[in-house]
Copies of this chain bind each other. A is one copy, B any other.
Amino acid sequence: MSNTSWLDQIKWNGDGLVPVVTQDSQTRRLLTHAWINRDALALTLAEGRAVYWSRSRQKIWRKGEESGNVQKIRDILLDCDGDTVCYLVEQIGGIACHTGRESCFYQKLTTVEGKPSWQITDPVLKDPSAMYGTRS
């Protein structure tokens, strides 16, 4: 008897997924781009933390379950077409990326002498081997 009409309003793709864009709720910095299914979004609301669907592992993925870098949910937004979600979060530990950086978007297109290339803009704040133990 649970109310799921809010989930029915989302236009899930053929694989039952939609993209989710995650931003820091304070700075609005873009942290990650990932994917969710119905279960992941329902769990995100129920647990108040960002939950995703891992396409590579084909399973529900609670952000921070291994690294401790949990994302506490502040708001959940939906776009005009109903096919993209946004999580506004408090990023515990200040690290969203598996490389140990604040954000996954740490490469900026930079043109030097007419040649564009991707330049790294952010430092590694924590060694990934320290975040994930032997799984580094």
Residues of A whose CB lies within 8 Å of any CB of B are 3, 5-6, 9, 19, 21, 23, 27-30, 32-33, 45, 75-81, 84, 86, 97-99, 101, 104-109, 111, 114-118
Contacts and interface: CB of A to CB of B under 8 A. Distances in A.
A105 B117 contact: no
5 contacts: A5-B117, A23-B30, A27-B28, A80-B97, A80-B101
A1 to B, nearest CB: 11
Copies in the assembly, this chain: 2
B98 A80 contact: yes
Given A19-B33, A33-B84, A79 B104 contact: yes
B33 A109 contact: no
Contacts of A3: 114-116
Contact of A108 (B9, B21, B76, B109): B76
Given A3-B116, A77-B109, A80-B106, 12 more contacts: A5-B117, A6-B109, A30-B30, A33-B84, A45-B109, A75-B109, A78-B105, A79-B104, A79-B107, A80-B97, A81-B104, A86-B105
Contacts of A78: 105, 107-109, 118
Contacts of A105: 77-79, 84, 86
A115 to B, nearest CB: 5
